[in-house]
Structure 1
Amino acid sequence: MRGAEFAELMAFMAIAEERSFRAAAQRLNMSPSALSHSMRSLEERLGARLLHRTTRSVAPTEAGQALLDRLGPPIAEVSDAVRDVRAFQQQPRGLVRINMPRAAAQLIVMPKLAQFRADFPEIRLELVIDDSITDVIAKGFDFGIRSGAIVQQDMISVPLTPDLRMAVVASPSYFAQRPVPHTPAELNGHACLTYRWYETGALHPWRFDGPDGPFEVMVDSVMTANDTSLLLDAALRGCGVALLVESLVEPHLRQGSLQRVLDEWCKPFPGFHLYYPSRRHMPAAMRALIESLKLS
């Protein structure tokens, strides 16, 4: 159905319900003459008279009443659907889908989850853990969370944390049996626990910063995983050396269950950012999430 045909049907419904061309014109915010023209066009297109008209009154014909009865329920459904869409724009409710690495979930989202649920009980969250570099928008997510260093420039990006650092860690029991490395080159021969991207099969490089700038070190992997929590668990159990986000291992460093090395070789890099493609017509639920998570 073309837009003009739908407009004619809406004009007919307004006239039939108001029983007045003038009142219907006011309801539709159009002139009585334009409304009369629209009504004539509809009757000509259908080949049927839909309204009885006199100088004093307007009433549906038998055909008009039958059409009005059939149009009522679907038009009400359309009106309800439009109101629901507007409600999503105005009231924080509905589903919000977020794709993020495990470290971001543990450091950013989970600590604020209880308060967010209390503030916005009608918002449902779908949290998908994905440590790989994924086109999250193409996969139907509302938001992605990644380091600001890898967020594409055409995305709107909201800082969630200060700059981050990586930390090279192992358990004290591991270093009780192995020499502590003082330079990245001395990682050679150590049992390293490394991250491997599932989709590409590539190993996450161990990057460091020295006097001559950034560089990478090839390490001997005794275990690879595509989940940082597994690497952390393996390091805590004395299985080897891991390169993990500093904030993720800080509690274990304070407790003494992990020991940090090569601290001076690990320089800051851009922290976690929430990103999405556009601010235009953003639902209230998405706005609420941004305000709840963004760096204050």
Structure 2
Amino acid sequence: MVSTADFAGIRAFVAVGRSLSFARAAEALGVSTSALSQAVRSLEDRLGEVLFHRTTRSVSLTDAGKKLFERMDPLVREMTEGLETVRVTGLEVRGIVRLHSFRTAAKVHLAPMLRRFAEDFPSVTVDIVLDDAVIDPAAAGYDASIRLGEVVERDMVAVRIGGPLTQRVVAAPSYICKHGRPERPADLLAHRCILWRWPGHTSTYDWEFAENGRWFTARANGMLVVNEREFAVEAALHGAGITMASEPLVREHLVSGRLVAMLEPWCADYPGFYLCYPQRRTVSRSLRAFIDTLTTATASAR
């Protein structure tokens, strides 16, 4: 049997392991830093192992700490989420929903529904991190991740939000007036293009097109590389070059004439955004409420 002291130590250890900060972990658990540190040291003494490398500037897991964290983190999460499903006052939904979301998905799908969710579930806090990196939501401390369907892992539960998307190749009229426009994807090599790099990748994203139902990539002459798609669109608006972006990011600029679409015959639909979470994860009432509100809002907007 796990003693009360052991459980307190494991809970403290996992909290520090997630944030690699005693101060942030203490804040998350609502205890003092000294009490948290003592709980971890007591656990280390009972195990006979040092679990953290501590310096005045950083905290990191030892090899023994890494092994213990890999085993204990999912167990503590399951226990916490299991308790959360029943720790409610009456029928009120309360708690925290921690989300990792691609930036475009947040702008298109999350922002329009947040007011409704706040009004319907005033006791739920929504903590959203915007980042286009493909991460393991559970390992990174998130309840769920919103990302493109093409990068949803097979062991994830995936809930579709919104419909398919289309990549549009666009440039400002001033750029076209000076440099002309590509007539085929291969012509991009002769133009100044604004490329995008996936976070964590060294190479840039390949421009994808379709012809007769088959997808292919085309090389683009990248004179500008960015890590944020909305900035690429902004640069294109100022005539810096041609860029490729999902249709929601450029729709209003195409309607106003500030951007012009090109290579339309080769721009096809692809899977849109999905909210995903590990199959083994218990879905809390707060996350279920968020998913239901999000899917209802995006279904009515199609």
| TM-score where L is the length of structure 2 | 0.67
Q: Which amino acid aligns with 1:168?
A: V
Task: Give 1:86's aligned residue.
Answer: 86
Alignment partners' CA distance in 2, 1:210 and 1:126:
41
* Structure 1 segment 29-108 matched on structure 2, within 5 A: 86-87=86-87, 91-108=92-109
Q: 1:164 to 1:211 in 2, by over 3 A?
A: same
Partner deviation per Cα, 1:191-217 (whole Å, 9 max, x = no partner): 111111231222110011124722111
- List gaps (5 residues or longer) in structure 1: 4-81
Residues 88, 283 of structure 1: 8 Å contact kept: no
Alignment partners' CA distance in 2, 1:161 and 1:139:
25
Task: Give 2:126's aligned residue.
Answer: 125
Question: Deviation of residue 83 (structure 1)?
Answer: 7.5
Alignment partners' CA distance in 1, 2:213 and 2:2:
67
Q: How many percent of aligned residue pairs carry the same amino acid?
A: 34
Q: Which amino acid aligns with 1:221?
A: G
Residues 193, 223 of structure 2: 8 Å contact kept: yes
Question: Deviation of residue 251 (structure 1)?
Answer: 1.0
SS at match of 1:204: coil
Partner deviation per Cα, 1:142-200 (whole Å, 9 max, x = no partner): 11111112211111111101111100011111111111112101112211111112312
Alignment partners' CA distance in 1, 2:208 and 2:83:
52
Alignment partners' CA distance in 1, 2:140 and 2:282:
20
Question: Deviation of residue 88 (structure 1)?
Answer: 5.0
Task: Give 2:235's aligned residue.
Answer: 234
Residue 191 in structure 1 maps to residue 207 in structure 2 = no
Alignment partners' CA distance in 2, 1:246 and 1:225:
18
Q: Which amino acid aligns with 1:154?
A: D
SS at match of 2:269: coil
Q: Which amino acid aligns with 1:244?
A: A
Q: 1:84 to 1:151 in 2, by over 3 A?
A: closer
Residues 169, 260 of structure 1: 8 Å contact kept: yes
* Structure 1 segment 200-219 matched on structure 2, within 5 A: 200-211=201-212, 213-219=214-220
Residues 91, 284 of structure 1: 8 Å contact kept: no
Question: Deviation of residue 84 (structure 1)?
Answer: 6.2
CA RMSD of aligned residues (A): 2.1
Alignment partners' CA distance in 2, 1:275 and 1:84:
20
Task: Give 1:174's aligned residue.
Answer: 175
Q: Which amino acid aligns with 1:87?
A: R
Residues 88, 285 of structure 1: 8 Å contact kept: no
Question: Deviation of residue 257 (structure 1)?
Answer: 0.9
Task: Give 1:250's aligned residue.
Answer: 251
Q: Which amino acid aligns with 1:235?
A: A
Task: Give 1:28's aligned residue.
Answer: none
Q: Which amino acid aligns with 1:122?
A: S
Question: Deviation of residue 280 (structure 1)?
Answer: 6.0
Question: Deviation of residue 85 (structure 1)?
Answer: 5.8
Alignment partners' CA distance in 2, 1:84 and 1:241:
49
Alignment partners' CA distance in 1, 2:246 and 2:104:
7
Runs of 4+ in 1 over 6 A off after TM superposition: none
Task: Give 1:42's aligned residue.
Answer: none
SS at match of 1:149: helix
Residue 268 in structure 1 maps to residue 235 in structure 2 = no
Alignment partners' CA distance in 2, 1:88 and 1:190:
59
Alignment partners' CA distance in 1, 2:213 and 2:287:
43
Question: Deviation of residue 2 (structure 1)?
Answer: 6.3
Q: 1:86 to 1:174 in 2, by over 3 A?
A: same
The structure that has the greater radius of gyration is 1
SS at match of 2:286: helix
Alignment partners' CA distance in 2, 1:2 and 1:221:
58
SS at match of 1:177: helix
Q: 1:88 to 1:286 in 2, by over 3 A?
A: farther
SS at match of 2:270: coil
Task: Give 2:294's aligned residue.
Answer: 293
- List gaps (5 residues or longer) in structure 2: 4-81
Residues 88, 284 of structure 1: 8 Å contact kept: no
